[in-house]
Homo-oligomer: A and B are copies of this chain.
Amino acid sequence: MAVSARRGEPLTLEEISSTALRLMDEGGVEGLSMRKLAAELDVNPMSLYHHVESKEALLRLVCHGAAERMHLPPDDGASWQDQLRALALTYHRHAREHPALWTYVHNHPEIVSDRRMRLWQVLYRILRLAGVPEAELCRTGDVLHAFVSGLVLFETQGHITDDPEEIDRTFDTAVNLIVRGLEGSR
């Protein structure tokens, strides 16, 4: 088994993925390139292709990893309104911690639309609690996710403002609008 000439140990997927995420956090979407990542790992650019099929596959990996690590609120018996608020807040906070990653996610909806993601199970449970009919569950879930995506996209691009208090107010306005919209549909 041959290892890198420059470093002592073989690469791991975990190492590749976490370094990629760090580069995105630091330098935005354009902060991550296969070549910069390789340099950061002190490795030849082409070595990466032994662990990952393409840049796209790498980004999928990073996104799925981050989504798995997102700790979703459990069913605590609270009202669906409060649970929906809590879920939105979790998502929102995670997105603001990794803005470049989530910008990528929201531009590649096939990643987040993977229905195996726990996010959807939690959202559907809350929507059922809210009285959304079974036949409308998927569509309503899509719409809500699209809404939150749009909001996150706006914020992470620094459009709305940088003032954290203002961000919270905007977030509240958005979530309240959604909650009232759902209440009105019963």
A124 to chain B, nearest CB (A): 15
Query: How many angstroms from the CA of A181 to the CA of B182 in the assembled complex?
Result: 8
Number of copies: 2
Give 1 or 0 for each of A147-186: 1 = CB within 8 Å of chain B CB.
1111101100101100000000110011011111111110
User: What is the size category of the interface that chain A forms with chain B?
Assistant: 35 or more
Is A7 engaged at the interface, CB distance under 8 Å to the other chain? no
A183 to chain B, nearest CB (A): 6
Q: Which residues of the partner chain B approach A160 to less than 8 Å between Cβ atoms?
A: 142
User: Which residue of the partner chain, among B103, B110, B176, B178, contacts A159 with CB atoms under 8 Å?
Assistant: B110
Q: Which residues of the partner chain B approach A107 to less than 8 Å between Cβ atoms?
A: 103, 107, 153, 157
Is A146 engaged at the interface, CB distance under 8 Å to the other chain? yes
Q: Which residues of the partner chain B approach A184 to less than 8 Å between Cβ atoms?
A: 180-181, 183-184
Say whether A177 contacts B174, CB under 8 Å.
no
Say whether A139 contacts B170, CB under 8 Å.
yes
Q: Which residues of the partner chain B approach A149 to less than 8 Å between Cβ atoms?
A: 150, 153-154
Is A140 engaged at the interface, CB distance under 8 Å to the other chain? yes
Q: Which residues of the partner chain B approach A170 to less than 8 Å between Cβ atoms?
A: 139, 142-143
What are 19 A-B pairs with beta-carbon distances under 8 A? A106-B153, A107-B157, A109-B153, A109-B159, A110-B159, A139-B170, A140-B173, A142-B170, A143-B151, A143-B174, A143-B177, A146-B147, A146-B174, A147-B147, A149-B154, A150-B150, A180-B181, A180-B183, A181-B184
CB within 8 Å of B: which residues of A? Answer: 103, 106-110, 113, 136, 139-140, 142-143, 145-151, 153-154, 157, 159-160, 169-170, 173-174, 176-185
